[in-house]
Amino acid sequence: MKRTISALARNEPGVLAKMAGEFGRYAANILSLAAGETENPEVSRIVACIEGDDAAIDAITRHLEALDTIIQVDDLSRNDFVDRELVLVKVEMDPARTAQLMQVFEVFRASVVGMGRETITVEMAGDQGRVEGLIHMLKPYGIKSLCRSGMIALKRGDE
Amino acid sequence: MKRTISALARNEPGVLAKMAGEFGRYAANILSLAAGETENPEVSRIVACIEGDDAAIDAITRHLEALDTIIQVDDLSRNDFVDRELVLVKVEMDPARTAQLMQVFEVFRASVVGMGRETITVEMAGDQGRVEGLIHMLKPYGIKSLCRSGMIALKRGDE
């Protein structure tokens, strides 16, 4: 099963190595991971999308919560969260199909961030369904390279 | 010094733990890290922004390149890259200043993705300067929570 976990961690050396180690110990595969700053300079937020046995992921969550450096762990699959991902895609540009390509960008509200002689690079932010939709629509044109940020998320509402 | 490194890695268990371990071994502090899928389902791209001694970061890069699971390492600080980051910010909404707040969102092309009774949540994608600019402008309104994806990047041009 695929689940997304968000952890607030104190900025101490080795936090990420410890977390990655926990995932490995339970044979959970990390599909994506985003670690970045928060509103508090001493705290980072790590959002990981992992694939593994349900019981194993529960065990990982409990182990992470028990670590001194981890302040809080949320299971984003179980709660109400706004989740977003950023993707950069460099796609081949065939003059005969440029208009069509631009239409795809428009539908997905993808913005052009770079252009070469044979390729065009766009960025798009959205939930995972939209990111996968864009990739799916661009595949027939020829994707030259692609970079995804991994999911980030905040709780819905005021909390 | 702050430097950003991008690595293409084969999807094997423990890659991330190994990389995080290398950073730790040289006392380089991970400021942000984004690991996500690429155009090739067997390959992930890991972009890490690290802070540390210049010589140490050079050593880390060499060590990473020598690992079997690592296909390629690029120093994004040295090359010509399109870099982008995604940020979600939940900011307090004071009715008296809503119009002002909306203007900030417009200037930074931040989109509203959620709304509570007392807060408003926006997303923005941009280079690090713009992300930091938005955070700086929103601070006086009261940032309730914040999540950054860490930088992702693709080479400029057709390559």
Q: B13 with A113: CB under 8 angstroms? A: no
Higher pLDDT, B99 or A12: B99
| 3-class DSSP state of A38 | coil
Segment B4-25, tens digit of pLDDT: 899 999 988 888 888 888 888 8
pLDDT for res B29: 85
- As a whole number of angstroms, the distance between CA A110 and CA A121 comes to 10
How do the domains of chain B map onto residue ranges?
2-75, 82-155
pLDDT for res A22: 85
- Whether A2-75 shares its CATH topology with A82-155 is answered yes
CATH superfamily of B82-155: ACT-like. Chain A, domain 2 (3.30.70.1150)
Give the distance from CA A148 to its chain's centroid. 6
Counted residue by residue, chain B has a size of 159
Segment A32-44, tens digit of pLDDT: 999 988 888 899 9
Q: How many CB pairs under 8 A join A and B?
A: 178
pLDDT for res A147: 92
- As a whole number of angstroms, the distance between CA A55 and CA B119 comes to 36
- As a whole number of angstroms, the distance between CA A59 and CA A54 comes to 9
Looking at beta carbons, which pairs linking B106-113 to residues 24 or more positions away fall under 8 Å? Answer: B107/B137, B108/B133, B108/B134, B108/B137, B110/B134, B113/A82, B113/A84, B113/B88
Segment A59-113, tens digit of pLDDT: 999 999 999 999 999 988 776 888 999 999 999 999 899 999 999 999 999 999 9
For residue B33, the chain A residues in CB contact (below 8 A) are 16, 33-36
Reported confidence tier of residue B159, pLDDT bands at 50, 70, 90: confident
What angle separates helix B15-25 from helix A15-25, to the nearest 10 degrees? Answer: 150
Structure tokens at A100: 């069509």
Is a pLDDT exceeding 90 seen at residue B41? Answer: no
Please indicate whether, in this complex, the C-beta atoms of A150 and B13 are within 8 angstroms of each other: no
Position of tokens 């155009």?
B39
Q: B125 with B113: CB under 8 angstroms? A: no
pLDDT for res B45: 92
Segment B120-145, tens digit of pLDDT: 999 999 998 999 999 999 999 999 99
Fold of B2-75: Alpha-Beta Plaits (3.30.70)
Structure tokens at A116: 């070469």
Is a pLDDT exceeding 80 seen at residue B79? Answer: no
Per DSSP, A97 falls in state G
Q: State the best of B69, B149, B155 to mutate against chain A, taking most chain A CBs within 10 Å.
A: B149
